[in-house]
Structure 1
Amino acid sequence: MIVDRQGRRFRNLRISLTAACNYACTYCVPDGKRLVAAQNELSADAMARAVEYLIEVAGIEQLRITGGEPLVSPRLERFMSQVGQMKLADVSLTTNGQLLSRKLPVLLNAGIRRINVSLDTLDPAAFRVIARGGDLQTVLDGMQQARAAGIRIKVNMVPLRGQNLDQVLALLDYCLQRGYELRFIELMRMGHLAGDRNAFAQQFVSLQQLLALIGERYPYQQTDAAADATAVRYRIPGKGIFGIIANESVPFCRSCSRLRLSSTGWLHGCLSSSNRHYVGDLLDKPRHEALPALQRLLVKALGDKQPVAFSGGATVMKIIGG
């Protein structure tokens, strides 16, 4: 097990199954071009082997499957079937929900019982403007079907001033009524936003602003969260729970346990670091050679973590998932 001076280690792995996406969200893709699969993406077998090795070397306990959009990947079913056999405490998936109805049997067969759905508005017109793809009702129907099948759902919303701030309460009401846990995610200074302070400042909505807005309708109180959780969680008595991933307002770097693996085989220890470490070539080596080499790379990846707070980064989120 690899531990740094602050007592942090890698517990949670987020693996980008593909860089391709059927959306082109404004805060992710500034040019509006729909994302395609990256060249030389790992095979399903190689990705599964990477997860297996990281469980052994780093002590990974939880896995989240991301993208791009993981449900568009042709590797989904084979990868999921292998991961479902591994010794992991939890396997979950983040999706935009556009293909959720169609891929629900694959997720259920793989034992997925928890998903996050990215949804920034309930207004169809605003949905088309922000997502630049897909259909809102298809997403809502997919969520309802997944819920009926026994899958727990969290909804991820990125509040943006001038785009969907008027949807904060509407989406909160919608989630509370259906038993979904809504997570508001503060805009992050990554990719094109890292170098454009004005664009970031014009759109950013803070934890304090969100709580003020929610407090106009509901009383709330802070509630428990895991020690390495990214979200500050709040309970609305008699209604339910919501959370705020307040990367800017309440940094969580001191307790971060996340490691990311891109679809092309690069490890990222920190979103705020441009460093990355290639493991793709290790996955074809004999186990006795691969594991020590992987351990050395993990030491470097853990050393990339920020000591206190996220400071922004040129890394593009669309490449390495959420």
Structure 2
Amino acid sequence: MATIAPSPPAALIDGFGRRISYLRLSVTDRCDLRCRYCMGEAMTFLPRSAVLTLEEMAAIADAFVARGVRRIRLTGGEPLVRRGIGELAARIGRHLATGALDELTLTTNATRLAEHAPALAAAGVRRINVSLDSLDPERFRAITRTGDLGQVLAGIAAARAVGMAVKINMVALKGVNEDEVGAMLRWCVAEGHDLTFIETMPLGVVDEDRTDRYLPLDGVRRDLIERFGLVADAHRTGGPARYLRVPGTATRVGFITPLTENFCDGCNRVRLTASGRLYMCLGHDDRVDLRAAWREGGRDALDAAIDEALALKPRAHGFRIEERDAAPAVARHMSATGG
């Protein structure tokens, strides 16, 4: 008698018909910097016992790949402070060789990138995002509270040396680094990097009022078009950025605008925290505990929990930043959810 093969797991389709093909996997909520717009100076991080093991992260990633996720980004916190990050990348990177996964990427502050770049490249990471908000060493230290710009630049150089493409992510901050926007773009052109500007997001309580630092990117975009002659570019990476290009160069300039221009209609991503909570949206608190599902019921329970999460995914976030001293949109910090 012929055996009937089991049906493949259902594709990830949310309640609004959007296909989920992108998983952002936070491997830790810890970070070795304390960027002022992202964290308070005194942070409380998860105890080790509350964090998924690397084996659990890999198993959950396997389940998402089986259900149609084509891109996975390793995030944090700062992912390179997690011991064993190279082994996790290699485990997930196996799906690149089979064709089940299109891309494995990483977002990092690059302070430890020089050490890890060779292992990441060997795992199949071909491009990375580096968070870098200033090229001035003193200003960089002021923004990050503890950062050494030289370490970051050395990490970027190491990544390029092993063949990785680098995209710079710069959070545009009014009265802090807005005067460096043009200089950052010129540097990226000279170094061959893409560049994305990001509006500050109202996530978690920090030590400053974000309304003082909010810089709408529509004005930044108009200014750069005038100064650099930027032209339209259809390039997409699977994330929310919309791109222009510097004529005569390979450098693209992206804009992530959660406040001035909502981009939720095409959302294709979900975020898994280091503690195993799956968030469907940065701007909402709805989540599902995949760690509990996996530990209590294995793959079947995990798939059921993922289905539950899809039903909770909202149409759009609720970010607002107009009111001074207003509470953040959600209480958790970006480092807890994963960038």
The two structures have a TM-score, normalised by structure 2, of: 0.87
Distance (whole Å) between structure 1 residues aligned to residue 44 and residue 79 of structure 2: 12
Question: SS of the residue aligned with 1:243?
Answer: strand
Counterpart of 1:51 (choices 38, 56, 61) is 61
The C-alpha deviation readout for 1:259-307, integer Å capped at 9, x for no partner, is: 100001100001111111101022235655334423433333xx33234
Q: Decide whether aligned partners of structure 1 residues 51 and 133 sit closer, same or farther in structure 2, where only a CA change above 3 A counts.
A: same
Q: Decide whether aligned partners of structure 1 residues 205 and 132 sit closer, same or farther in structure 2, where only a CA change above 3 A counts.
A: same
Question: SS of the residue aligned with 1:137?
Answer: helix
The C-alpha deviation readout for 1:146-191, integer Å capped at 9, x for no partner, is: 1122101100000101111111111111101111000000111222
Counterpart check, 1:315 vs 2:324: no
Which one-letter code corresponds to 2:252 in the other structure? I
For 2:325, the equivalent position in structure 1 comes to: none
Alpha-carbon contact 1:22-1:34 (below 8 Å) kept = no
Distance (whole Å) between structure 1 residues aligned to residue 238 and residue 124 of structure 2: 24
Alpha-carbon contact 2:194-2:253 (below 8 Å) kept = yes
Counterpart check, 1:140 vs 2:146: no
Counterpart of 1:71 (choices 73, 80, 94) is 80
Distance (whole Å) between structure 1 residues aligned to residue 120 and residue 46 of structure 2: 21
Counterpart of 2:269 (choices 228, 242, 258) is 258
Q: Percent identity?
A: 34
Q: State the Cα distance separating 1:84 from its structure 2 match.
A: 1.2
Alpha-carbon contact 1:12-1:60 (below 8 Å) kept = yes
Q: Decide whether aligned partners of structure 1 residues 251 and 5 sit closer, same or farther in structure 2, where only a CA change above 3 A counts.
A: same
Distance (whole Å) between structure 2 residues aligned to residue 179 and residue 17 of structure 1: 29
Q: State the Cα distance separating 1:228 from its structure 2 match.
A: 5.5
Alpha-carbon contact 2:290-2:305 (below 8 Å) kept = yes
Q: Decide whether aligned partners of structure 1 residues 191 and 288 sit closer, same or farther in structure 2, where only a CA change above 3 A counts.
A: closer
Distance (whole Å) between structure 2 residues aligned to residue 2 and residue 102 of structure 1: 36
Q: State the Cα distance separating 1:5 from its structure 2 match.
A: 4.5
Distance (whole Å) between structure 1 residues aligned to residue 55 and residue 263 of structure 2: 33
For 1:80, the equivalent position in structure 2 comes to: 89
Distance (whole Å) between structure 2 residues aligned to residue 308 and residue 259 of structure 1: 13
Distance (whole Å) between structure 2 residues aligned to residue 90 and residue 68 of structure 1: 21
Q: Gaps (5+ residues) in structure 1?
A: none
The C-alpha deviation readout for 1:227-277, integer Å capped at 9, x for no partner, is: 964111011211332111111122111110111000011000011111111
Q: State the Cα distance separating 1:216 from its structure 2 match.
A: 4.6
Counterpart check, 1:210 vs 2:195: no
The two structures have a TM-score, normalised by structure 1, of: 0.91
Q: Gaps (5+ residues) in structure 2?
A: 1-10, 321-328
Distance (whole Å) between structure 1 residues aligned to residue 313 and residue 79 of structure 2: 26
Alpha-carbon contact 2:195-2:254 (below 8 Å) kept = yes
Counterpart of 2:198 (choices 185, 189, 193) is 185
Alpha-carbon contact 2:290-2:306 (below 8 Å) kept = no
Q: Decide whether aligned partners of structure 1 residues 165 and 35 sit closer, same or farther in structure 2, where only a CA change above 3 A counts.
A: farther
Question: SS of the residue aligned with 2:227?
Answer: coil
Alpha-carbon contact 1:254-1:308 (below 8 Å) kept = no
For 1:33, the equivalent position in structure 2 comes to: 42
Q: State the Cα distance separating 1:137 from its structure 2 match.
A: 1.2
Which one-letter code corresponds to 2:280 in the other structure? G
For 1:306, the equivalent position in structure 2 comes to: 315
Question: SS of the residue aligned with 2:179?
Answer: helix
Q: Decide whether aligned partners of structure 1 residues 298 and 125 sit closer, same or farther in structure 2, where only a CA change above 3 A counts.
A: same
Counterpart of 2:116 (choices 88, 92, 103) is 103
For 2:326, the equivalent position in structure 1 comes to: none
For 2:3, the equivalent position in structure 1 comes to: none
Alpha-carbon contact 1:273-1:304 (below 8 Å) kept = no
Which one-letter code corresponds to 2:336 in the other structure? I
Counterpart of 1:297 (choices 305, 308, 327) is 308
Distance (whole Å) between structure 2 residues aligned to residue 62 and residue 38 of structure 1: 29
Q: Decide whether aligned partners of structure 1 residues 266 and 162 sit closer, same or farther in structure 2, where only a CA change above 3 A counts.
A: same
Q: State the Cα distance separating 1:126 from its structure 2 match.
A: 0.5
Which one-letter code corresponds to 1:185 in the other structure? I
Counterpart of 2:135 (choices 122, 126, 134) is 122
Which one-letter code corresponds to 1:6 in the other structure? F
Counterpart check, 1:201 vs 2:217: no
Q: Decide whether aligned partners of structure 1 residues 289 and 6 sit closer, same or farther in structure 2, where only a CA change above 3 A counts.
A: closer
Distance (whole Å) between structure 2 residues aligned to residue 170 and residue 33 of structure 1: 32
Q: Decide whether aligned partners of structure 1 residues 306 and 192 sit closer, same or farther in structure 2, where only a CA change above 3 A counts.
A: farther
Which one-letter code corresponds to 1:278 in the other structure? D
Counterpart of 2:278 (choices 263, 267, 274) is 267
Question: SS of the residue aligned with 1:191?
Answer: coil
Question: SS of the residue aligned with 2:259?
Answer: coil
Number of aligned residue pairs: give it: 315
